[in-house]
Structure 1
Amino acid sequence: MNRVVHPIEQESFRRLRARLDTSRFPPLTRAVVERVIHSAADLEYASDLVMDEDTLEKAHAALHAGAPVVVDVEMVAAGITRRETVCRLKDAAAGPGLTRSAHAVRLAYEQVGPGALWVIGCAPTALEELLTLDASPALVIGLPVGFVGAAESKAALRESGLPAVSNVSEKGGSAAAAAALNALLYTPLSHSEEKQ
């Protein structure tokens, strides 16, 4: 299934690479860094993102083998156009000590079980809840945004030892999270060829 790249996207990546040398990154890391930067037109992501190539290779294999993709909000799902996703936010309810986003994570885990790729781009509480579950994820893309809890939840993700893509700062969001997943989707299984 070949992806047709629009000329505007090609030119955008050409300009990105003219302003930032991404050739120092290994292939999947480079793909994620470039896609996230492209989603936000923010070159600072090159030094803000935290990931490991071996982890990305395992996640890439799981994704292309059909592992489920769970998202915290529909805005993340909307950005992932080449793969079905699970989002249980509409079915969730807030309760004492539990946000709606955290409840949605519980519901999604009950549905998909272990081994999924989790894409959190909005709610720090969704990421915090995921860390309490025995989800054995193939990957957690933890890029929630905000001034309350976002940086802390991403630090907790990195400290958990789970396979992850995160960033250090408070920035993030649905577009960045979807872009990170799309980087893995769009990169061919033999990712030695560096296509967009």
Structure 2
Amino acid sequence: MPCDTHIAAGATFNDTTWNFDYTTDAQGRPNHAVNTAGLRLPQNPPPRGTCPTRVGNFTENWGGQTMGGADFHGGHLIGRQFGGVGYRYNLVPQLAVKINGANGLYFEMESTARRCLMAGATIDPGGYRIDVDYFQPTTVIPVNTVFPEDFRVHLDITHGPDRATVDATIFWDPEFADALEFRNQLSNAVHDANC
């Protein structure tokens, strides 16, 4: 599977082994991932491979400034702990600390889903969905940039009679207030789903 900046445009990748669908936009950038069966925590997740490191090292020139490199990870749209593969159609550059790191918002969203699954909750087909928006070209931002502007998250958790839904946006470089609001939504979901 290629690990290029842009892959097949307008394509759908059906992963029947791990039960996810992934799509790319008209420019060949990952823009959608969703579970097609109940989300699970496999004992032997797929191998990491080398593509996450390569995607984390993508760089672009934004008006004389270098975007990407050391401050970025190749972040999985669907995390490995759920069976997300290390292929380009599931990987985008994410800020290492604010998004993908141990205290990052994306990491916290994945941790919330994991915590609830471990407590016996279920996340049914379509209940774990990520949609990616990309920056529009400007005089500074290049056409077909590979750097996401935001991640629209849908998380639907059922735990017995209790249910919680998170529909929120993680911005590429979140401000404090945005991060706090997102964390509050995750905390409320854990409370509402009793997990």
User: Shorter-chain TM-score category?
Assistant: under 0.3
**Normalising by structure 1, what TM-score?**
0.28
Flag the structure with higher helix content.
Answer: 1
The structure whose RCO (Cα within 8 Å, separation 6+) is larger is 1
